[in-house]
A and B are shown apart, each in its own frame.
Chain A
């Protein structure tokens, strides 16, 4: 059974780079690792996904080592509006359609 582990919370300041790491074992071999962002009282929304190495989009970067047992979400130059809960998401090795969310990392950005 796949399980993900993330820090419960992180604090940072505006303009800083923030890195959030998720540990995951037994993920489905052919599946991607996906990160979501959730604001209070809203459903999560997709940020970024990757399979190996590094992926970058207009919002974030995702670093995945060769063994795929962890991934790191990198948010460059955060602002107050990046205050949210961030989840990493993997498929379960028993069923790629059974979705395992981590418990999430609550990121707080200060002025």
Chain B
């Protein structure tokens, strides 16, 4: 089954404790991206990747890191999480690299930073 998976689905952590949220897709898509969703603000793009070793900033990249060492994986790294990073995070992938292309979203990761 074609899908985007994220782990963990739920995470509660404390300020400053490094964490990684994994994202994997099995559709051989070149484009992958991370979004955060906050009440009243919709989805905001954090980082995106056009292909392996190619990443770029979205609208809200501060406090986040990403890497794209393999085509299927695109982990989101929070080196020193803070409470304002409490949010619902979605990973997505698409075959091409434009807003044109249909994006397939993962199930989401709900992160709480205390």
Contacts and interface: CB of A to CB of B under 8 A. Distances in A.
Interface stretch (B12-20, B40-48, B70-78, B79-87): B40-48
Contacts of A45: 105
Given A34-B99, A91-B100, A96-B99, A42 B44 contact: no
- Interface size band for B: 20 to 34
Given A43-B107, A97-B48, A99-B58, A31 B100 contact: yes
A91 B107 contact: no
A96 B41 contact: no
- Interface size band for A: 20 to 34
A103 B40 CA distance: 7
Interface in A3-61: 28, 31-32, 34, 36, 41-46, 49
B98 A44 contact: no
B42 A87 contact: yes
Interface string B42-63: 1111001010000010110000
Contacts of B40: 103
A27 to B, nearest CB: 8
A46 to B, nearest CB: 5
A109 interface: no
A96 B98 contact: yes
A91 B99 contact: yes
Given A43-B90, A46-B103, A87-B42, A100 B59 contact: yes
A32 B101 CA distance: 9
Contacts of B102: 34, 46, 49
B98 A104 contact: no
